[in-house]
Amino acid sequence: MRKRLAVTVVAAVLTVAGCSSGDGDDASSSSAAPSGPVTLNVSAAASLKNTFTAIAGEFEKQHAGVTVSLSFDGSSTLVNQIKQGAPADVFASADEKNMDKLGDQATGPTIFATNTLVIVTAPGNPKGIASIADLNKAGVTTVVCQSAQPCGNATDAVEKNTGVTVKAASEEQSVTAVLTKVTSGQADAGLVYVTDAESAGDKVATVTDPAFAEVVNKYPIATVSGAANEALGKEFVELVTGAAGQKILRDAGFGKP
């Protein structure tokens, strides 16, 4: 009887010890770094390419084993891709309208930057463009963004405010595409964001119009609900909205939220 009781006591002790050990492992694993390589998928508006590439590099330095995969395109295009199942842990839009289109999939949208339009031309402004009205001058080939894209929506707003409808030769899917057509000589002028013009440097000349200041695009960022790395995505959002991310954005010409 004593032998059987001793065996029972030993088994109970081993069971308790096993449970304690398991609890300890769970606690440590929840706070530990990823056990293997992790890819954080970030979809961002085309106008954020330079700044988010820099921010992603900083994020990777702070998170060993994490690679940030960046996807840049027009905000409307990115929303459609996410809705169709494209991998995205974080989405950054160039306007609130397209963030709203993501609906419940967008968790905690936060405005992190602002931007306005500007006219870009070939260096030296050979066509003598001085205002948005001049984009319709004879012999001037102008390109703009599609209305579904934030840059196109902003263009529509400027047109409404000024009563000037730009007779565009083409409507592009992203602000980057508009800039490329101007820098490559395929167009004489285009409507892009201030930050895109700044990134182009001496490849373009810029022309402002008072009407541009009245149309300000607000950039929201959010994690994507149900994404594989939503928690890690929140840390990326914190970097963008924090001091380090904001400095990168300010240096590139983006306005404050």
Report the distance separating Cα 175 and Cα 193, nearest Å. Answer: 7
Say whether 50 sits in a helix, a strand or coil.
helix
Q: Is 193 annotated as ligand-binding? A: yes
Q: How far apart are CA 63 and CA 245, in angstroms?
A: 15
Annotated ligand binding at 219? The verdict is: no
Q: Is 47 annotated as a binding residue?
A: yes
Burial 20-59 (b: 16+ CB within 10 A, else e): eeeeeeeeeeeeeeeeeebebbbbbbbbbbbbbebbbeeb
CB 235 within 8 A of CB 113: no
Q: Give dist(CA 177, CA 111) in Å, integer.
A: 25
Query: Does 131 carry a binding-site annotation?
Result: no
**Binding-site residues:** 47, 75, 175, 193
Instruction: List residues forming the annotated binding site for molybdate.
Output: 47, 75, 175, 193
